[in-house]
A and B are shown apart, each in its own frame.
Chain A
């Protein structure tokens, strides 16, 4: 049924957008966390000096 196709695509695309948004947040969070570790390490090093 053609109409079911349209509904299927609407749901899939919609959920893909929400999922993509969530994944982008998660990725940016991970990158930030890595940078926090890097910064904390370099701060730790400079404090030891």
Chain B
């Protein structure tokens, strides 16, 4: 693949183009940090305001499924990193395989997330839709479920967008365009995918693990 077909007219060379694209994605991820930051801030405020209610409510979280999902997502980051590597080596077939594996793991994550949402529905702890916990702290407990659905929901939206981007990469890869000279799209989608992974690395302990030592005391 000659460089002429992948170099956009505004750039002087492929290196400048790659630098610009990568910086663009990093700046976008900064935006994303601030976007999620609003929810993390709210979570922090209310967690410190209502520690008891949050600890009790967090026992409704399915730690097993959460742990499985954490493993699934970290593994998908590995396959994503391998996809970047193989695209850089020009190995079209293994790039495709690693991208497919990443998509597959992403879909597994979303499926398990759906199972968890269904559990919450069965347990009547979905704010706004069906929330039946009672007692003096029920309101504050509902607050944690608000954060649970907002934060994991927003994370899931990012996963779905990521799966879309990976599908686009597979199509692009099928033309054999990627090489040591030009693999920027794989790299920047990889950055995005790792970012979404890292968000989960924060969500998992905050929503599932904090307060587990109180299990049985409530």
- A and B part of one assembly: no
Q: Which residues of B contact A (CB under 8 A)?
A: none
